[in-house]
Amino acid sequence: MSPEPTPACPVCGSESGVLEIQLVVAGDPLSFALCSSCEWKSWAGLVGPLSLGSVLDLASAQGREPAWHRPGRPPAGGSAR
Ligand SMILES: [Zn+2]
């Protein structure tokens, strides 16, 4: 096993100040990088870099069920009446 090198901060170039955190949001593995030197932040998912807005969308969708996601099954009973 070789440890993944921590990427340098693209803003200030600091390597020691960059923290990388792996986490799962709404079932998708994401990585969050944070520079403690200049407060640069970056989110990345399987498909590539993510904007903060799309990450927040994922996080908020996690606890809320969209209406279009519910099975709209009509009540059984056939043709009564
Ligand atoms: Zn930085």
Residue 42 domain flag? yes
CA of 41 to the centre of ligand 1 (A): 9
8-47 residue pLDDT tens: 899 999 989 999 999 998 888 999 999 999 999 999 998 8
Extended beta strands in the chain, E state:
18-25, 28-35, 41-45, 48-50
Residue closest to 43 by CA, chosen among 51, 23, 64: 51
Residue 5 domain flag? no
Residue 81 domain flag? no
| Domains: count for the chain | 1
Q: How would residue 52 be classed by pLDDT, with cut points 50, 70 and 90?
A: confident
CA of 38 to the centre of ligand 1 (A): 4
CA of 56 to the centre of ligand 1 (A): 22
User: Given this model, what pLDDT does residue 66 score?
Assistant: 53
Burial of 9 from C-beta contacts in 10 A (0-12 / 13-18 / 19+): buried
In whole angstroms, what is the distance from residue 28 CA to residue 8 CA?
A: 24
In whole angstroms, what is the distance from residue 6 CA to residue 36 CA?
A: 13
CA of 32 to the centre of ligand 1 (A): 14
Residue 6 domain flag? no
CA of 8 to the centre of ligand 1 (A): 8
pTM higher than 0.85 for the full model? no
- Structural domain for 29, as ranges: 18-62
Query: Is the pLDDT assigned to residue 57 strictly greater than 70?
Result: yes
